[in-house]
Amino acid sequence: MNPTLRHIRHVLSENPVTGLAFAGFAAILLLALFGPLIAPYDPLASNTDQALRAPCWEYWFGTDHLGRDIFSRVIVATRLDVQISLAAVALSFALGAPLGICAGWYGGRTDRMIGRVVDTIMAFPLFVLAMGIVAALGNSVVNIVYATAIINMPFYARMARAETNARREAGFVEAARLSGNGDARILAAHIFPNILPPMMVQVSLNLGYAILNAAGLSFIGLGVRPPTPEWGIMVAEGSAYIVSGEWCVALFPGLALMLAVFCFNLLGDGLRDIIDPRRRT
């Protein structure tokens, strides 16, 4: 068996919770890919005669105030929420990691300039800053991704700076420098692989936070626009019917959101163990 695959199998079998987290993540990805194909009803089709039905054999999660099948909408909404989360985290990682590496490696004026930018972003309450960005640019999916990436970028910049600064004078870095490697090669081939494992934990945490941020923006009316299926919108629409007893309208989208965030939070340790070069020994 390939050593990499053997290592991944060892990590997943060593910790059942990690294996469960990866299984949940795989299930979320499958729903995101094939959700529209397996949804029993059209998530946008309304049938007012069946409005606010309780869960039954015909409608597993019940129906909302327009008679739309909640189960179908929860499944279809997985694709949009996962796309927003993955795109935002990838963008924030691509922006924050190089800035942090440069700040930790070069220090001096470079470190101060990057630090001021990061501190300026962190000075604002992050969700309020995301609200301001989306309100200024418009509540589209692309702008939600941009806003979420901007508020997450400081986490990667700070972590990359700290990890790079701690390894700047390490023995393997000195050996690479004496071998004739330039700064770019040292950073790409030696520093980055060694700072990646702890950053993977941050990636998994930010995946959950990005979904929560998108859902929160949708909940207050600054996110994805109705009638597009999205967990935050569905919770917002269902919250008005909780008092009258139609709890399923908000419960199941909220439960899907909670399980997704819980799964992403558990992924961190497993990703770190898989990527960490020291664990391969």
DSSP of 16-46 = HHHHHHHHHHHHHHHHHHHHHHH-SS-TT--
Q: Are 249 and 65 in contact (CB under 8 A)?
A: yes
Task: Write down the domain spans for the chain.
Answer: 3-41+61-162+195-280
**The two structure tokens encoding residue 253:** 């989208």
Mean pLDDT, residues 25-50: 87
Opening angle at CA 248, ends 243 and 250, nearest 5: 75
Helix (H) or strand (E) holding 110: helix 108-122
* pLDDT category of residue 280 using cuts at 50, 70 and 90: low
Classify 3-41+61-162+195-280 by CATH class: mainly alpha
**pLDDT of 12:** 65
**pLDDT of 85:** 92
Helix, strand, coil shares, percent, the chain, to 5? 75, 0, 25
Percent of the chain past pLDDT 90, that is, above it, reads 27
- What are the φ and ψ backbone dihedral angles of 63, each rounded to 5 degrees? -130, 160
**The two structure tokens encoding residue 267:** 């992924």
Q: Over the stretch 172-200, which tens digit does the pLDDT of each residue have?
A: 888 888 888 888 888 888 888 888 878 88
**pLDDT of 126:** 87
